[in-house]
Structure 1
Amino acid sequence: MLENKVGTVFDSVGVELASPRQRLHLILLGVQDVQKSASFYESLGWSRSPTGHQGFEKFDPDHRLIVDEMN
């Protein structure tokens, strides 16, 4: 490939094209009762992150969910 001139168009015959793997990294929820919502996710076995605070809870590293107070 390095032996070809700049701008060379390569034939894609025999090359399997793959789309990029799609993943969801973050979910942000606006809720009226942060503590109640956080308790719900804890009941599912999720762990709160120590970086959350009153009015803002974060669950990680296995589950990327942020529960924020909705005004």
Structure 2
Amino acid sequence: HITLGQTGLLPLFERALFSSTMVSRGKPFPDLFLHAASTMGFAPADCIVIEDSVAGTLAGIAAGMRVYSYHGDPHS
């Protein structure tokens, strides 16, 4: 809410915000990605994940989704 609110993009994503508090297991387990896909009515194979963490990348792969990983912090 903070980041999207500051950019003015929050209204575009209000129905598509998901949190690890919605599932019993967080990343690297695929639960959150599978929950989001199911809630939005999509098959995992029809979804993509854009991730900046190893745990998230592993979760996306385990969910059966196409994953695009990036390394955004050159100091880490």
Question: Under a length normalisation based on structure 2, what TM-score does the superposition of the two structures give?
Answer: 0.27
Name the one with the larger helix percent: 2
Q: Which of 1 and 2 has higher RCO (CA within 8 Å, sep 6+)?
A: 1
